[in-house]
Structure 1
Amino acid sequence: MNILITGTSGEPIYAQIVSQVRQLILQGELVSGTALPSIRLLAKDLQISVITTKRAYEELEREGLINSIVGKGSFVSGADQEFIREQRLRIMEHKMKEVIDESRLLRINFTEITEMMKLLYEEEKG
């Protein structure tokens, strides 16, 4: 498992870990039952606090992506990909609602929102 942490992203370190592990699971690179590095080992490898790594694992467990077993470690859960995808879609819908609410406050119409989204999407594709 290769996780890259960047100090310039503006995203908290624990969130970077969660995001990357989530992506690996959704892409099928980490399959059900795969053991994750221990909290201490990952913290050492990434040169970060054990508390930060623990927070990331707790978030992944809350999302149903991993299971932690005391004394044995953390493993990718058996949740099916469709269930995980539905969870992520629900989160995405919530974020989109926040964007819509903010756009209404700023009096930005739907056409402007879609243009902004299109530009950002194309920019990210490279």
Structure 2
Amino acid sequence: MNIILSNASTDPIYIQILNQIRQSILNGELRPGDNLPSIRQLAKDLKVSVITTKRAYEELEKEKLIDSVVGKGCFVSGANQDFIREQRMKRLEEKMMEIVRESQALSMSQQELLDHLKLMLEEEPT
């Protein structure tokens, strides 16, 4: 897991950690059952306070994205698949809106856009 912290960001460090782990889970880079670094290990790796990493993990646990098992560590949860799907659908819709806006800027008709999408779907191996 590669977390990059920015001192230039307006977000607190725990939010940066939270967002990057959440994104890795939503992207499928981290899968249900995957073991996360311990709170102490992550703090050491990122050179931040244990309290900071603990707060990020607590927020992820509240969102039911991770589970903490006493004595074993933290794991990506498999329980919140509906939330993960919903978040991924939201990101997909945002990307689709970008495509719609770009097609409008190119003066494409709806049918041209749909035809182009259909062509791309046919070319993409499943």
Distance 2:54 2:17 in 1: 10
In structure 2, what is the equivalent of residue 94 of structure 1? none
In structure 1, what is the equivalent of residue 124 of structure 2? none
In structure 1, what is the equivalent of residue 2 of structure 2? 2
Q: Is the 8 A contact 2:26 2:88 kept in 1?
A: no
Distance 2:11 2:59 in 1: 15
Gaps of 5+ in 2: 91-100, 102-126
Question: Who wins on radius of gyration, i.e. which is larger?
Answer: 2
In structure 2, what is the equivalent of residue 69 of structure 1? 69
In structure 2, what is the equivalent of residue 50 of structure 1? 50
1:29 is paired with a residue whose SS is coil
Tell me the amino acid that sits aligned with residue 75 of structure 1: F
Say if 2:25 is the partner of 1:25: yes
Q: Is the 8 A contact 2:26 2:87 kept in 1?
A: no
Write the mapping of 1:1-126 to structure 2, written as runs, cut at 5 A: 1-86=1-86
Distance 1:25 1:15, change over 3 A: same
Q: Is the 8 A contact 2:66 2:74 kept in 1?
A: yes
Gaps of 5+ in 1: 91-117, 119-126
C-alpha deviation, 1:27, in angstroms: 0.5
Tell me the amino acid that sits aligned with residue 72 of structure 1: K
Of all paired residues, the percent bearing the same amino acid is: 67
1:35 is paired with a residue whose SS is coil
Distance 1:15 1:89 in 2: 22
Distance 1:54 1:3, change over 3 A: same
Distance 1:41 1:27 in 2: 23
Distance 2:80 2:67 in 1: 14
Tell me the amino acid that sits aligned with residue 6 of structure 1: S
